[in-house]
A and B are shown apart, each in its own frame.
Chain A
């Protein structure tokens, strides 16, 4: 577990994480959602998690901070295999906290414009843009009517 009382670990009112915590968390999130091989999809750690956390409740920020404290600050310098193994161990020993970390990681990731456009979707919220949907093929309904048993008379 890292030492959250280090001098550099100062949390200001508009900074939910210290720079060391942010670096660690970024590396941690890139294990949870790494960049895609083709480079289209960013890793979760490449996104602006700090801005995301600023919009969250203090309880969420505290949980994320607590989750990251289970990892040493040298986590980013470890090999990919070691980092993956450490996250697996964390998910087993602290399942509730891991699930919160995962939920927030996915929440941050899948509302990000870069991610949405990488998926071929429009950036931003659904409204007022909306979506187009094909009307569908109703031509086989004639056969449905022919085959149907009909409603039960009373």
Chain B
């Protein structure tokens, strides 16, 4: 085994340089502790992102696919989705999922933290919206978030930048919501609408989910990381952690990882912070088997890898007579609706969903998706069908709250391994009856909106398979060590120098994209660690 560069123990070792790892690294940096982050992927280079080339749309089907099994980079690890109707999507590299996310940036709502008290399902979080409020604001400022204050569906908040343009798509769909008398609001977006902190504003390129060549999308490689590095945090790329090791006393004392050459290395640490999100974190914990922890690290509750929550996403597309310039502007950020977000049992299900309006595809994806859906044929009728679709569509994505269920799991695949021989993650997931009812309700309402907005054709695509962006709940937080993995500030109940700061600690999922809340949680945990440095392990 190769010892790390210095072989000196570091004060804090963070695993994963994505949304939460970057935030916690930046926050802890002002302690002047020696902090190292290990990241299995590389830095990305915005000059190489797809929109710098003519084949920008084609690359989304290969090297820049959101699906790691399709992308298949050396820095990715395979994921077995065979027993799940939803495929996990992610990105492995500095920035993590923020490199390829749509940057739709809503916060969880106050009610999302108290679902047991309010609706009698799942569990309450051990913290509240108010606990995170100041961290949401801090994170919005660090990331650069655009939006419009005054949304009545949230407590007061003030995004630092004005909203990104709604465009003709936003106007058209908003007219549908207005006719129905339903709520809509410009989306909070982690995309800068004006120059901000040395970054140039959004150019409306369109395909945010294959990386932003302009640097206007707020991925953490260009927000938190430059600041954290300037403050002395060390970030090592191409370091894939296999397991967290423990001392004879049962405390975490470092990690074993593989470097780019595939050599096995050891890095000692006083504190280990997991920031690999809802699949990566349980994968490493379950692979960290020792005499003290035969069922995986921090797993005395048996809940590591259990209660996996996605957000089941359904999609309805409307085709309009009018030209909507659909391919222009951030694909996934436009307007949203919270009309059906809160529980109304008359709908036949508990909890609710967000409706996220999306723009259309570029010409290649319009053609290839149209072929597969049977709506744009090849041959003599191709041009006519293509022109009726291209720049004439808008979409409503219905993003449903998923409730925790023990049988939805991340485990270690007995056969499939990554290029370093580490077991791959295996997903077992079924869609609950509640989620099915919610999805059906949302899809029907999305069709109503399209009709009200004047769509000449409405296509209900049902649930989307390749949409497992949001990976939550697999190491939940709580006060009781028997029913949770970490306490109310992210510290493992079992291993007092092990912290988890990513989406795996969510108790429930809410019905919105989680990155804003994940980062607020990471900042809150880091701040709590700083306040408790003198007795961190008590």
A residues neighboring B (CB under 8 Å): 31-34, 36, 41, 84, 87, 102-103, 106-107, 109-111, 115-116, 119, 121, 124-138, 140-141, 143-145, 147-154
Residues of B within 8 Å of A31, CB to CB, are 378-379
Q: Do residues A130 and B203 form an inter-chain contact, with CB atoms below 8 A?
A: yes
Given A33-B382, A133-B204; A152-B152 close (CB under 8 Å): no
Q: A149–B181 Cα gap in the complex (Å)?
A: 11
Report Cα–Cα, A132/B378, bound state, in Å.
31
Contact with A along B45-64 (1 / 0, CB 8 A): 00001011111111001000
A137-B213 in contact given A145-B152, A148-B183 (Cβ < 8 Å)? no
CA distance A126 to B54 in the complex (A): 8
Q: Do B55 and A151 touch across chains, with their CB atoms under 8 A apart?
A: no
- CA gap between A73 and B368 in the complex, in Å: 28
CB distance from A124 to the nearest CB of B (A): 7
A-contact bits for B124-136, CB 8 A (1 contact / 0 none): 0000110000000
B328 near A131: Cβ-Cβ < 8 Å: yes
Contacts A116-B363, A154-B110, A154-B113 hold; do A135 and B206 have CB atoms under 8 A apart? no
The answer to whether A151 and B379 have CB atoms under 8 Å apart is no
Give the docked Cα–Cα distance between A135 and B170 (Å). 9
Chain A residue numbers with a CB within 8 Å of B148 are 138, 141
Q: Hey, which chain B residues are within 8 Å of A103, CB to CB? A: 61, 368
Q: A148-B152, A151-B153, A151-B155 are in contact. List 4 more A-B contacts (CB 8 A).
A: A126-B203, A138-B166, A144-B184, A154-B111
- Bound state CA distance, A84 and B377, in angstroms? 13
Classify the secondary structure of B's interface with A: loop
Partner of A131, one of B52, B329, B363: B329
Cβ of A117 to closest chain B Cβ, rounded Å: 12
Cross-chain contact B54 with A111 (CB below 8 angstroms): yes
Interface size on B, residues (CB 8 A): 64
Of the residues A41, A126, A128, contact of B383 by C-beta under 8 Å: A41
The yes or no answer to B109 lying at the interface (CB within 8 A) is yes
Q: CB of B261 within 8 A of chain A?
A: no
Task: Give chain B residues whose Cβ lies under 8 Å from the Cβ of A115.
Answer: 363
Give 5 A-B contacts (CB < 8 Å), ordered by A residue: A126-B207, A138-B148, A140-B174, A143-B178, A152-B111
B178 engages A127 (CB within 8 Å) = no
The verdict on A119 contacting B183 (CB below 8 Å), with A126-B56, A136-B167 known, is no
- In the assembly, what is the distance between CA of A8 and CA of B177, in Å? 64
A36 contacts across to B, CB distance below 8 A:
383
**In the docked arrangement, what's the CA distance between A31 and B111, Å?**
57
Report the separation of the CA atoms of residues A132 and B329 in the bound assembly, to the nearest whole angstrom.
Answer: 8
CA of A115 to CA of B181, assembled, Å: 42
B420 at the interface (CB under 8 A from A): no
Closest to B330 in A: A133
Q: A107 with B364: in contact, given A126-B56, A136-B165 (CB under 8 Å)?
A: yes
Across the interface, which residues of A come within 8 angstroms of B459, CB to CB? none
Q: Is B470 an interface residue (CB 8 A)?
A: no
Given the complex, which residues of B lie within 8 Å of A130, measured CB to CB?
A: 203-205, 214
Q: A33-B378, A127-B51 are in contact. Are A140 and B178 (CB under 8 A)?
A: yes
Give the contacting residue for A125; candidates B56, B111, B113; CB below 8 A. B56
**Distance in Å: Cβ of B211 to nearest Cβ of chain A:** 10
A residues near B203, Cβ cutoff 8 Å: 126-131
Asked whether, in the complex, the Cβ of A110 is within 8 Å of the Cβ of B128, the reply is no
Q: Residue B537 at the A interface, CB < 8 A?
A: no
Q: A151-B154, A152-B342, A154-B128 are in contact. Are A136 and B379 (CB under 8 A)?
A: no
Does B153 contact A150, Cβ atoms closer than 8 Å?
A: yes
CA–CA, A134 and B171, complex, Å = 9
Q: Which residues of B contact A135 (CB under 8 A)?
A: 165-166
Given A127-B51, A130-B214, A107–B58 Cβ distance below 8 Å?
yes
- Contact residues of B between 197 and 250, Cβ < 8 Å to A: 203-207, 213-214
Contact assessment for B170 and A151 in the assembled complex, using a CB-CB cutoff below 8 Å: no
Q: How far is the CA of A111 from the CA of B110 in the complex (A)?
A: 46
Determine whether the beta carbon of B378 is less than 8 Å from that of A32: yes
Whether A153 pairs with B110 at a CB distance below 8 angstroms is yes
> Assuming A134-B171, A144-B185, is B382 touching A127 (CB within 8 A)?
no
Contact A148–B153 (Cβ < 8 Å)? yes
- Residues in A neighbouring B363, C-beta threshold 8 A: 110, 115-116, 119, 121
Neighbouring B residues of A102 by C-beta, 8 Å: 368, 371, 378
Instruction: Name which of A110, A124, A128, A149 has the most chain B CB atoms within 10 A of its CB.
Output: A110
Q: Which of A133, A145, A148, A154 contacts B328 (CB 8 A)?
A: A133
Q: Complex: how many Å from CA A135 to CA B57? A: 25
Cα distance, A111 to B213, chains bound together (Å): 18
The answer to whether B390 has its CB under 8 Å from any CB of chain A is yes
CA distance A74 to B38 in the complex (A): 60
B364 to chain A, nearest CB (A): 4
Contacts of B55 in A (CB 8 A): 107, 111
- Of residues 232 to 285 in B, which have CB atoms within 8 Å of A's CB atoms? none
The residue among A34, A102, A136, A153 with the most chain B CB atoms within 10 A of its own CB is A136
Enumerate chain A residues within 8 angstroms of B362, measured Cβ to Cβ.
110
Contact B383 A127 (CB under 8 A): no
- Chain B nearest CB, measured from A36 CB (Å): 5
Cα(A137)–Cα(B173), bound, Å: 11
